[in-house]
Amino acid sequence: MKVNAAYALGGDDLVRRTVEEFTGVQIDYVITVNYQGFVDVVNALGGVDINVDRAMNYDDRRGNVHIHIEPGEHHFDGQTALEYARFRHDARGDLGRIERQQNLIKALFDQKLNLEHLSSVDNIAGAVLNSVGISVNEDSPRNPPEIGIREIASLVGFLSLLNDDEIQFYQVPTTDLFYDGLSCLRPIYSETSEVLSVVFADNADISWQVLEGSPLSVVPLESEVINSTYEPDMDWGVGPAGD
C-alpha cells in the first residue's frame, strides 16, 4: 500500500501498521502535524536560516499555494519555511523535496535545538504539544505512556544535547516503476534491508520475505492530490504529503 494512502484510508492506525510491516519495527507513537502547527513550531524556535540553491516558483490557485523564493541566504519564519518544505516542482520532484525537508530539519537542530537558544524549553514544548496530534499504540506490549508537556520538554532537552554527527538521514533505495498508470517507486529489497539493519540495529528483527509479492512492493507517488488525507490542512510525519 502507498504510505500516504494509508493515512487517507485508515488514519494513524493504518499508517502505523503499514510502516511496521515495511520496516519490521514496532511503532509506539504516531505524531501528526498540520501546516499551521509546523508554522507555529518554527516561529516558536525563532525561525531558521537556510541557503536556497535555486529559484523556487510555484502557484496553485485551486489549493491557494503560492511559493516564490529566490536563491541565496534567507532567514525563514514559519510560513516561508513551510513553503520551502512543500516545494517539489523542479527536476528532482519528490526526492528533491525530501532533501530540502532534511536540510530544514538539520538546520533547526544546528541553529535552534541547543542550549544557547533553548532559554525556555517549556514554551517550546507547549508550542509543540499544541501543534501536533499524538496517538499511542495501545496494543504495544511495552505499554507506552501518554505524552504530555513534561515528556515533550524532556525530549526537547535531550535533542539539545545531540551532536551533529548523531543526526543522520537515510533514504530507501528505489527504482522507478509505472504501475496502473501511476509513477511509482519500488524498493530495492537487498539494499533496503541493509539500510534498515543499520537504522534499526538495536530493534531489529528485519524480515523482508513479507514484502515479496505484497502490495508494499509498489509505492505510488502522489499525482494531482493536493494532500494525502482528504483534509485541507493536514500532513503527517512518516513521509511527505502532496501539495
Q: Is 238 helix (H, G, I), strand (E, B) or coil?
A: coil
- In this model, does residue 242 exceed pLDDT 80? no
pLDDT of residue 68: 97
Rounded Cα distance, 70 and 53, in Å: 9
At residue 22 the predicted structure's pLDDT band, cuts being 50, 70 and 90, is confident
Which residues pair with residue 129 across a beta bridge? Answer: none
Model pLDDT for residues 114-128, shown as the tens digit of each residue? 656 666 677 777 878
Contact 35, 82 (CB under 8 A): yes
pTM: 0.73
CA distance 85 to 8: 21
Higher pLDDT among residues 75 and 94, named by residue: 75
Residue 231 pLDDT > 50: no
Q: What is the pLDDT of residues 46-56, one digit of tens each?
A: 899 999 999 99
DSSP assignment letter at 242: P
For the residues 107-112, what does the mean pLDDT come to? Answer: 85
Nearest to 8 by CA among 237, 186, 227: 227
What is the pLDDT confidence band of residue 216, given thresholds at 50, 70 and 90?
A: very low
Q: What is the pLDDT of residue 79?
A: 96
**Which class for 37: exposed (0-12), middle (13-18), buried (19 or more C-beta within 10 A)?**
buried
* Mean pLDDT confidence for 84-99: 90
Give the class (CATH, top level) of 34-166.
alpha beta
**Beta strand pairing status for 174-179 and 182-187?**
antiparallel
pLDDT tens for each residue of 170-197 = 888 888 877 777 677 788 888 888 888 8
CA 98, CA 239: separation in Å to the nearest integer?
8
pLDDT at 70 exceeding the cut of 90: yes
Give me the pLDDT at residue 120, please. Answer: 66
Out of 2-6, 70-74, 94-98, least confident range: 2-6
- By percentage, how much of the chain surpasses pLDDT 70? 78
Give me 125's grid cell.
514544548
Within 13 Å of residue 207, how many CA atoms lie on the same side as its CB? 6
